[in-house]
A = this chain, B = another copy of it.
Amino acid sequence: MQQSIKLSVDAVVFGYESETISVLLIKRKYEPFKGKWAIPGGFVLDSESLEEAVARELKEETGIKINYLEQLYTFGKPDRDPRKRVVSVAYFGLIKPSAFKLAASTDAEEAQWFSITNLPELSFDHAEILKLAITRLQAKITYEPIGFELLDTKFPFSDLEKLYSSVLGRDIDRRNFRKKMLGLNILDELDEKVSKGSGRPANLFMFNKNRYFKLKKEGIIFEI
């Protein structure tokens, strides 16, 4: 067979800090689009799986190791790369604030977080990829507790509420959200409190992954 298509992977990684959702981008070192921003990614090696390829490229280009990573969509328009035919399997990742800071010790002098409300011009069809990823994030957070991947292990309830509010781009009734979330029975209330600034100190919570997977297995549906 005479096929000469190349296969790459790309990773749209979202982080959450200071009530803002950000994406991780890299500045391209070579043509085409040299100097422009792009979603991290690269070609798949013959021996590695797609998941291994994204994880490797992310590590190489940004120094970040990701926990939550799932396949988003495969982009294959014949002209999406001006040089040659490249089909790219895009992934979708989330990262906690504690792992949010970019490792300095990498190739990636030029990796940077951008708020999704203030994006630079992107290379290739990466704007389209990112748009789809944002839609997926919004949809996904309403029916799977991926929010916990974006927060620290222990967090005050208001952090969770603010996260939902900023991802969904609308106000959420604090009291109803709390009732519903706690009603799902996938959060453990800790005996620790935090006080930031004024106001009553808040109890800390943790996501109970085991309980969540158990409920999911039983077919119980999470929905916000």
Is A71 in the interface zone, CB < 8 Å from B? yes
**In whole Å, how far is A215's beta carbon from the nearest beta carbon of chain B?**
18
Given A7-B7, A50-B87, check contact A44 B1 (CB 8 Å).
Answer: no
Q: How far is the CA of A46 from the CA of B6 in the complex (A)?
A: 10
Is A48 in the interface zone, CB < 8 Å from B? yes
A1-42 contacts to B, CB under 8 A, are: 1-7
A36-94 contacts to B, CB under 8 A, are: 43-50, 71, 73-74, 76-78, 85, 87, 89
* Complex partner residue of A73 from B3, B47, B71, CB under 8 angstroms: B71
Q: How far is the CA of A47 from the CA of B76 in the complex (A)?
A: 11
Which residues of B are found within 8 Å of A7, using beta-carbon distances?
3, 5, 7, 87
Is A3 a contact partner of B46 (Cβ separation < 8 A)?
yes
Which residues of B are found within 8 Å of A1, using beta-carbon distances?
6, 43
Which residues of B are found within 8 Å of A44, using beta-carbon distances?
3, 5, 76, 87
Q: How far is the CA of A5 from the CA of B118 in the complex (A)?
A: 37
**In whole Å, how far is A188's beta carbon from the nearest beta carbon of chain B?**
29
Residue of B nearest to A7 (CB): B5
Residue of B nearest to A2 (CB): B46
Which residues of B are found within 8 Å of A48, using beta-carbon distances?
78
Q: How far is the CA of A49 from the CA of B48 in the complex (A)?
A: 25
Is A85 a contact partner of B50 (Cβ separation < 8 A)?
no
Q: Which 5 A-B pairs have the closest CB atoms?
A: A50-B76, A74-B74, A5-B7, A74-B89, A49-B77
Known: A3-B46, A7-B7. 17 other contacts (CB 8 A): A3-B6, A3-B43, A3-B44, A3-B45, A4-B46, A5-B6, A5-B44, A7-B87, A44-B87, A46-B85, A49-B78, A50-B74, A50-B87, A71-B73, A71-B74, A76-B89, A87-B89
Interface residues, chain A, CB within 8 Å of chain B?
1-7, 43-50, 71, 73-74, 76-78, 85, 87, 89
Selected A-B contacts with CB under 8 Å, 11 pairs: A3-B43, A3-B44, A5-B46, A7-B87, A44-B76, A46-B78, A46-B85, A49-B76, A50-B76, A71-B73, A74-B89
